[in-house]
Amino acid sequence: MIRKYIIQKEASLELRNNTSLFLITPTMSVLIIVFPILSENRFRVDDNLFLIVELLFLILFTTLFSIRNPLDEQRLVKELNFGSIQKTDYFYSKTIAELGIFYPQIVLLLILFSGFTNTSLNSSVFYICLSVLFFCINAIMINLFFQVFTSFSNRFVQFTIIVPIYIGFAILIAPLWLGVNQEISNIYLLMYLGITLVIYAFTNFYLRSTR
């Protein structure tokens, strides 16, 4: 069950902490602006290099976004028990809240990257937006799962495991952004949808088995 007040709370915390909106995103924007200058002082970047670097920026931004506000597991358990909230409700509500915060920033950074490197992705806006949406949902669910439902207390250990997963998600995006034909693009989107459903099914099974 989606709890509206959890979504509102997460959004207000994000605006109050300003970690993502006013620290991580501007930092990434500056890196994007500086990149064309560092790439042999060329204003136009080669398309292949553009795609590789854009995927690296995507992975880096996702990692920074994931570690911006680590969850305090003990405090979280107390709050959930006090409010009689199931972990299932919290997990899905926070996933939606994170998606509402994370997805627009990813789209903004992609627009900035294309503008300042004077290049564009060889794909339609529909495929780009949908692939990024799947990437965001999967990355958020994986990150929250590791934070809420595992006993890893060391953040380095968590992200030693999580970052390779992010890389795998990003690799699936590459063919879509390269502008392959529509049939192959549809196959990759179906693969991404399948991965999303598998992660959702596993998470849902785990949530129900641990209640």
- Supply the range of the domain harboring residue 160: 4-210
The predicted model scores a pTM of 0.81
Hey, is 29 helix, strand or coil?
A: helix
Residue showing tokens 């034909």 = 181
Between the ranges 54-58, 183-187, 201-205, where is the mean pLDDT highest?
183-187
- Strands, DSSP E only, in the chain? none
**What is the band of 194 on the pLDDT scale with cuts at 50, 70, 90?**
very high
Q: How far apart are alpha carbons 144 and 89 in whole angstroms?
A: 13
Mean pLDDT of 47-59: 78
Of 35-39, 125-129, 174-178, 206-210, which range is least confident?
35-39
Task: Name the percent of the chain lying above pLDDT 70.
Answer: 70
Mean pLDDT of 37-61: 69
Q: How far apart are alpha carbons 131 and 181 in whole angstroms?
A: 15
Count how many domains the chain has: 1
Whole-number mean pLDDT of the chain? 76
